[in-house]
Amino acid sequence: MAVLISVYEVVLRYLFNSPTIWVQELTILLSAICFVVSGLYSLERRDHIRITVLAERLPPRVQRVLDWLGLLLALVFLCAVAWGGWK
């Protein structure tokens, strides 16, 4: 969707000499949403970047604690992004 509205902006700007003021902000917003959602999706699937050499050597209980800690930190990050965006 971000690509389509960017193409729309290019066509309006260079072919019709009538640029918009909303496309840039909407493109950034859509890209940020995709970034956050894809990060959480990969974290949920356990495909997120992590140090597997160390994580796989830990006992299963410690691995679960670290997984919960990662989830908690991701939620804190999302809350901070939402709070910053709200202002």
Cα four-point dihedral sign 39, 40, 46, 49: positive
| Domain encompassing residue 9 | 1-47
Statement to judge: residues 8 and 43 lie in one domain: yes
Residue 57 DSSP label: T
- The answer to whether 49 touches 28, Cβ cutoff 8 Å, is no
Statement to judge: residues 32 and 56 lie in one domain: no
CA distances, 75 to each of 4, 9, 43, 61, 78 (Å): 31, 34, 11, 21, 5
Helix 23-44 / helix 2-15 crossing angle, nearest 10 deg: 160
- Percent over 70 (pLDDT), the chain: 95
Structure tokens at 61: 């209980």
- pLDDT tens profile 28-56: 889 988 888 888 788 778 776 767 777 78
Statement to judge: residues 34 and 56 lie in one domain: no
